[in-house]
């Protein structure tokens, strides 16, 4: 069982890295996309990059992170409702929910860009760009230090 747990954790971390890489990159693409003129070659290229990043990397990585994370939580250190009673996991899941909500918003903004209908400024996406990094730091501190 220990080795199954270790395998799941390894793939959980791989999925987390892919999800976070995408979540850190997509708002940065939005920042540059804001500066591209509508209908320009550059703007159309950003559309393709954003769609592929979301469909090929970010969406599957988020699903894998959730499935593997919940599996780990269920197996726990010694099972029988696993880690679900632990305060650190509950706090972590709240932060992961926030990250997932941001993911959903990014998907909506991508659709707006695809329709040449972006309603936000470059500054807005620059600020949004910092949020996944902040959530990532808090989540990793919670899961590694398990402070409560
Ligand atoms: C709902 C989603 C998630 C659940 C239920 C979940 C749950 C878990 C559980 C139970 C562990 C094993 C902890 C241990 O054995 O000590 C773990 C490990 C880990 N998780 Fe998650 N996780 C989720 C999402 C995330 C996210 C979004 C990140 C990062 C942004 C993340 C980062 C990590 C890391 C780095 C580890 C390895 C910690 C270690 O081995 O010390 N997880 N996760």
Q: Which two tokens stand for residue 137?
A: 């730091």
pLDDT in tens, 6-65: 999 999 999 999 999 999 999 999 999 999 999 999 999 999 999 999 999 999 999 999
Task: List residues near ligand 1 (CB under 6 A).
Answer: 9, 12-13, 16, 20, 65-66, 69-70, 72-73, 83, 89, 93, 96, 99, 136, 139-140, 143-144
pLDDT for residue 96 is more than 80: yes
**Under a CB-based contact definition with an 8 Å cutoff, are residues 11 and 109 in contact?**
no
In sequence order, which residues have a C-beta less than 8 Å from that of residue 127 and are 6 or more positions away?
Answer: none
Pocket test residue of 69, 88, 98, 137 for ligand 1, highest count of atoms within 8 A of CB: 69
The rounded Å distance from CA 22 to ligand 1 centre is 18
Give the number of the atom of ligand 1 that is nearest the alpha carbon of residue 77.
15
Q: Give the Cα separation of 75 and 56 in Å (integer).
A: 29
Q: What is the mean pLDDT of residues 108-132?
A: 98
Nearest residue to 87 (alpha-carbon basis) of 140, 137, 141, 146:
146
pTM: 0.94
Backbone angles phi, psi at 34, to 5 degrees: -55, -35
């Amino acid at each position: 069982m220990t080795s199954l747990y270790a395998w799941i954790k390894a793939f959980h971390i791989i999925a987390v890295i892919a999800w976070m890489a995408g979540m850190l990159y997509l708002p940065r693409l939005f920042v540059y996309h804001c500066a591209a003129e509508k209908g320009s070659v550059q703007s159309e290229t950003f559309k393709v990059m954003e769609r592929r990043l979301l469909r090929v990397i970010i969406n599957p990585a988020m699903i894998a992170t959730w499935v593997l994370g919940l599996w780990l939580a269920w197996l726990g250190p010694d099972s029988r409702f696993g880690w679900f009673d632990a305060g650190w996991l509950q706090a972590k899941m709240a932060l992961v929910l926030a990250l997932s909500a941001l993911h959903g918003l990014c998907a909506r903004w991508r659709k707006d860009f695809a329709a040449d209908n972006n309603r936000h400024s470059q500054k807005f996406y620059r600020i949004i760009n910092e949020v996944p990094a902040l959530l990532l730091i808090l989540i990793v501190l919670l899961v590694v230090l398990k402070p409560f």
